[in-house]
Amino acid sequence: MKRKQLIDHIKEKKSYLCVGLDTDITKIPRQLEPNADAIFEFNKQIIDATKNHCVSYKINTAFYEAQGLKGWEAMEKTLHYIPETHFTIADAKRGDIGNTSAQYAKTFFETLPFDAVTVAPYMGEDSIRPFLEYDNKFTIVLGLTSNKGANDFELQQSGDKLLYEKVLEKVSTWGTIDNLMFVVGATQAEEFVNIRKIIPQHFLLVPGVGAQGGSLKDISAYAMNDDIGLLVNVSRAIIFADDAKKAADEYHQEMAGYLK
């Protein structure tokens, strides 16, 4: 999917909601457990309930890989069930030496035709370059995460800057706004103003709203740019809600208010 298509869909729908399909098989409704493909059946129900309120789906591959072949099959079926209008993300956090990354890129851009994949930048440009070689695909690089461990490296001083600031500056030179996005955790809301000074035009994938306590209001105020530039991911607070459609609609209505 091209950047313009994503922007147009966001503006048309008045939503920048990304639904995270972190489908934990131990948490799906009991009535689905006897189903031979319970994960896919659960995902189908979530997609049917939320597709009118979101513009994107993020599949956290760990929940599927943990189930072996069955999980991979469920992931592939889920991906193909998502409407073509919606931006699809493989939350895989890959990144390795060049020839290995080339295989990861092939996995998530060809074998499983996602629109985007998350990657870790620690090993440098040659570990990310193979993903950037694909047309109309996005590489979403971990920038500033919302976990406690962000203090171990990302928020450490490195010369005159914090390490995550150097990562954003450096990685942004490897691609363009048409093929690069960055992950910034919602619980780091106070950093969004600074982040937008470093990467004013790139899209940000923002996890951490909902169960992790991030503020949609703050993110929208501090991180939105002229092209919206945001995909706010909500996983557990929607997919394991008593009413997924209602939960997604509530986020949709709040987002629509910020887009007026």
Rg for the chain, CA atoms, rounded: 18
Catalytic residue of the set 93, 106, 166, 245: 93
Measure the CA–CA gap between 80 and 98, rounded to whole angstroms.
28
**Annotation marks residue 93 as catalytic:** yes
CA angle 111, 13, 236 (to 5 degrees): 60
- Strand 87-94 relative to strand 116-119: parallel, antiparallel, unpaired? parallel
Q: Give the whole-angstrom CA distance, residue 150 versus residue 147.
A: 6
DSSP the chain: --HHHHHHHHHHHT--EEEE----TTTS-GGGTTSTTHHHHHHHHHHHHHTTT-SEEEEETHHHHTTTHHHHHHHHHHHHHS-TTSEEEEEEEE--SHHHHHHHHHIIIIIS--SEEEE--TT-HHHHHHHHTSTT-EEEEEEE-SSGGGGTTTTSEETTEEHHHHHHHHHTTTS-TTTEEEEE-GGGGGGHHHHHHHSSSSEEEE--BSTT-B-HHHHHHHH-BTTB-EEEEE-HHHHTSS-HHHHHHHHHHHHHHHT-
- Residues with a catalytic annotation lie at 93
